[in-house]
Structure 1
Amino acid sequence: MFGCLVAGRLLQTNLQQVDETHALFELPNASTINHVCVFLLGTMPFPDGYGATVHFHWPEKGFQLLGMLSNEKPSAIFRLRGTFTPSTTYGAFNAGQPTEASLPTDVTAILGLSVEPLDQIHAQMGSLPSFIAKPNQDPSKDPTVLAERIVKNLFNYLSSFTGGGPLTPDVAVPMGLIAKWYEGFMSKVKNSGVAFLEREQS
């Protein structure tokens, strides 16, 4: 149901199920990770009224809430480096590890996903200092929002060539398709800026 992509690495679909509503990805060599993208694979939507919170766990530091996914927001990019604050941990994943140890240089971190009702998710999102509920947020002023929308645009474009099936790591994508997407994408940016990315979110 979920995929995970760390910049410069292969797509991860090796999701480990913890229980009916919790799952995780292991992120080896976590000290080298700056950003991670998490998304729905398109094989199965959330049940109506449900989504997932996304949490990051650094060994001995507990889990920290990063953000959310839903059928309306099927992908998200999160900045990991320099954002961890041990005081904001999440009990459903947190096994009570100490929070004072210094960060190891090379560790395996965990990206946790918790399927929950959307009303509970939105309540949690409101507690994030970085969460701003602006439906008309200008992506050109936030590089993370802009990058997420560009990746989603490419993902949607490539998915249209799979005959309606999901885009998985086993699906070969000809480089010519990516070149064609790039030419069309840059043409739109030159003609109308990035406003079309905002329209694709609605």
Structure 2
Amino acid sequence: MFGCLVAGRLLQTNLQQIDETHAIFELPSAGSINHICVFLLGTVPFPDGYGATVHFFWPGKGFQLLGMLSNEKPSAIFRLRGTYTAQTTNTHAVFSGAASDTSASDVTAFLGLSIEPLPQIMQEVAVLPSAVAKASNPTADATLMAERIVKHLFNYVSSFVGGNPTALSPDFLVPMGVIAKWYESFMTKVRNTGIGFLEREE
């Protein structure tokens, strides 16, 4: 039902079921993980009125609620590095039973999924900092992000032309190799540092 993708690694579909409503993905060498994507495979939808909360569990430190999935939101990407905040409630203590002792240099963490009623999920994720920030106007946030990405591409491409980029002819041709090089560079930067650099380029 679920898939998990750690940036730079192979797709994981080796979900381990703990009980009827909880399951985990093992994440070996977790210290090197920056971003993780979790999604529905599209084979089995959630029952009506249900979704799943997504948790990151670090042995010895507890778990952190990352967000949620539903039939309307079948995938999500989460940044793990630099954002870990242990939570101590016992609501999802079931994930702690999966922990094993490992050395600090080779920690196996876990991505936990808990199937719950959507109203309960919405209450849980409403307190996340990202949810509070996006609640104001998600469409405006998406538009602003798209604008920043396009601006980054425009600035990159115009650096190959020289002179005044705003005075370029609309018929000016850009080799596809330049766009491909920008894409590779852009995605590498996003994987390594997140999207903060887009905000600094204002």
Q: Same fold (TM over 0.5)?
A: yes
In structure 2, the residue matched to 1:136 is 139
**Do the aligned partners of residues 105 and 140 (structure 1) sit closer, same or farther apart at CA in structure 2, a change above 3 Å counting?**
farther
| 1:105 correspondence with 2:108 | no
Partners of 1:64 and 1:89 within 8 A in 2? no
Quick one: distance in 2 between partners of 1:54 and 1:108?
17
Q: Distance in 2 between matches of 1:83 and 1:72?
A: 26
Tell me the alpha carbon deviations over residues 123-165 of structure 1, each in whole angstroms, 9 at most, x when there is no partner.
Answer: 001111221223414335459xx9xxxxxxxxxxxxxxxxxxx
Equivalent position of 1:19 in the other structure: 19
The structure with the largest helix share of the pair is: 2
Residue 44 (str. 1) matches residue 47 (str. 2) = no
Is the CA contact 1:62–1:90 (under 8 Å) kept in the aligned structure 2? no
Aligned to 2:35: 35
CA distance in 2, matches of 1:10, 1:52: 23
> Where in structure 2 are the equivalents of 1:176-187 lying within 5 Å?
none
Structure 1 unpaired stretches of 5+: 97-102, 147-181, 187-202
Whole-Å separation in 1 of the counterparts to 2:73 and 2:112? 17
Overall identity of the aligned pairs, in %:
69
DSSP-derived class of the 1:5 partner: strand
1:73 is displaced (CA, Å) by 0.3
In the TM superposition, residue 2 of structure 1 has moved relative to its aligned partner by 0.1
CA deviation string 1:138-197 (max 9, x = no partner): 335459xx9xxxxxxxxxxxxxxxxxxxxxxxxxxxxxxxxxxx99xx9xxxxxxxxxxx
Matched, 1:79 2:82: no
Query: Would the alpha carbon gap of residues 86 and 16 (structure 1) be closer, same or farther in structure 2, given more than 3 Å must change?
Result: same
Per-residue deviation, residues 29-83 of structure 1 (Å, max 9, x unmatched): 0011000000000001000100000000011011110000000000000000011
Please state how far the C-alpha of 1:94 moved relative to its aligned partner: 5.1
**Which amino acid in the other structure matches residue 35 of structure 1?**
H
**Could you say what secondary structure the match of 2:106 adopts?**
coil
Q: Give the 4+ runs in structure 1 shifted more than 6 A.
A: none
Change (3 A) 1:130 1:109: same
Contact 1:65 1:88 in 2 (8 A): no
- Amino acid across the alignment from 2:7: A
Name the aligned partner's letter for residue 62 of structure 2. G
Give 1:26's aligned amino acid: E
Q: Distance in 2 between matches of 1:90 and 1:55?
A: 13
In the alignment, the residues of structure 2 paired with residue 52 and residue 32 of structure 1 have an alpha-carbon distance, to the nearest angstrom, of 25
Equivalent residue number for residue 8 of structure 1:
8
Show structure 2 runs of 5+ residues with no match.
Answer: 98-102, 150-178, 184-202
Aligned equivalents of 1:35, 1:130: Cα separation in 2: 15
Letter in 1 for 2:78: F
- The residue identity in structure 2 corresponding to 1:112 is G
Matched residue SS, 1:136: helix
Contact 1:54 1:69 in 2 (8 A): yes
Q: Which residue of 1 aligns with 2:62?
A: 62
Q: Summarize the Cα distance change of 1:112–1:128 in structure 2 as closer, same or farther, 3 Å threshold.
A: same
Structure 2 Cα separation of the partners of residues 4 and 140 of structure 1: 27
